[in-house]
Amino acid sequence: MAYRIAVCEDDETMLKSICGDITTVFEQLDISVEIKQFTHSSELMDNSDIATLDAVFLDIDMPEFSGIEVAQSLRDISKRLCIVFVTNMDDLVYQSIKCQPFRFVRKSHLDTELSECVSALVHKIASDELCVELPGARGMICAKVDDIMCFTSVRHHVYAVTTKENIEIVATMKKLEERLSPNGFIRVHSSYLVNYRFIFSIDREGVVMDNGHTIPISRYRIADVKHKLHYFIRKW
C-alpha cells in the first residue's frame, strides 16, 4: 500500500525539488509513495481526495490562500492528517501552531531537514496504524491506536473512548498505563489515560481534546503531562 502525499507550492521549480527529494527518501526506505502536486492553494482545497491523504507539505507564503489558511481548512476535514510546512517565513511559524503541524522544514535546509521529516512521518503513520488487543467485556477486541481517544474509569468500570464508540474494558487503569505508555498514552488524572494524538492543548481547566472536550488534569501531574506530550510530539 502506497503512502499518499500532496505538495502545494506556488514556485514550480521548488515544487519539483520538494517532490523529488520526498520521492528519493521513500525510495531509500523502500516504501511506495503517490505524490499529488499543486501550484495553487485553491486547487488543493477543492480536491476531493483530501480525506484519503496521509500528509500534506505546504508553503506558508502563497497567493490566494496562505498555507496557514489551507491548513486550517484541512484540519476541518481531517484531524489526523500530517501537515508539514515548508517555508523560509520563520516569523509565521508561531501563527501556524494552531494548525497542529507535524513538522517545519526550511527551504534553505531542504537537503537535510526533509529527509529527517519524511523518516519521522513514516514512523508516525506506522505507529498510528498499530492495533492493540484489549480485554473487552465480551472477549478480546482489536483497536487501532489512532482510533482510541482515551480510557476512562467510571464507578469501577473502565471504558475505551474511541472515535466511534465507548467500549468497556476488563483491565485496571494502572495496567493500561503500563502497557500503552510507550504508544503515546499519558495518565493525566486517576480516571483518565489520554492518547497524545488527540490533545489540542493544556490549560488551567485541563486537557483540551481536539473535539473541544476538556478532560480534568491533576495538578501534580501537569508538569509531567506537558513533558510527555512534548516528548511524543518530538518523537513522532
Give residue-wise pLDDT tens across range 93-150: 666 677 788 888 999 888 889 999 999 898 888 877 778 889 988 888 889 898 999 9
For the residues of 153-205, what is the DSSP string, one character each? EETTEEEEEESS-EEEESS-HHHHHHHHGGGTEEEEETTEEEEGGGEEEEETT
Domain annotation for the chain: domains and CATH numbers: 3-128 (3.40.50.2300), 131-235 (2.40.50.1020)
Distance CA 35, CA 5 (A): 5
Distance CA 89, CA 106 (A): 8
Instruction: Return contacts of 230-235, CB within 8 angstroms, 24+ apart.
Output: 232/184, 232/186, 232/196, 233/196
Distance CA 130, CA 137 (A): 22
pLDDT of residue 63: 83
Q: And the C-alpha cell for 166?
A: 465507548
Distance linking the first and last C-alpha atoms of the chain? 21
Distance CA 195, CA 211 (A): 13
Write out residues in the chain with pLDDT < 50, as ranges.
none
Instruction: Using a pLDDT cut of 90, give the percent of the chain over it.
Output: 54
pTM of the model: 0.63
Q: By the 8 A CB rule, do 68 and 60 touch? A: yes
Mean of pLDDT over the chain: 89
Instruction: Return contacts of 100-103, CB within 8 angstroms, 24+ apart.
Output: 100/75, 100/200, 100/210, 101/71, 102/55
